[in-house]
Amino acid sequence: MTDQNRKINKMALAGFILVLLSVTPLVFFRYFVGEWFTWALLFSLVVLSPVGLVLSVIGLVHSIKNKEKGKFFAITAIVINFLETAFIIFLFLGALFVGMSKI
């Protein structure tokens, strides 16, 4: 099967899009403040990020197994999700230590 005849794995692409959407509130966190933004940030971290990660892993496995395109999307989404999680943990620990130092 030639490279042009292969289909892009839809799960890998959907996972990539969801992970990009979950990162968007983190990028614009500095410019928007308000209750709606807090809920958008919480929704993106609790719902979009894990669903995007699961879809990306499933899409990666399927794209390797069925020799479909989409490995790049899946691997990129997994890496972005890992970096996003590490950043959130770093922010949480920083806020925790700053809060403890003021006691």
This prediction has a pTM of: 0.81
pLDDT tens per residue across span 54-87: 999 999 999 999 999 999 999 999 999 999 888 8
Res 2: pLDDT: 64
Q: Of 88, 72, 73, 71, which is closest to residue 23 (Cα–Cα)?
A: 88
String of b and e for 4-23 (b: at least 16 CB within 10 Å)? eeeeebebbbbbbebbeebb
Q: Of 47, 48, 50, 26, which is closest to residue 37 (Cα–Cα)?
A: 26
Residue type, 86: A
Backbone angles phi, psi at 67, to 5 degrees: 55, 50
Res 79: pLDDT: 96
Residue with tokens 């990162």: 23
Q: First CA to last CA across the chain, in angstroms?
A: 65
Res 103: pLDDT: 61
Kind and range of the H or E element at 88?
helix 71-101
Summarize the confidence of residues 9-26 as an average pLDDT: 90
pLDDT tens per residue across span 30-60: 677 677 777 877 888 888 889 999 999 999 9
Q: If pLDDT is split at 50, 70 and 90, which confidence band does 1 have?
A: low
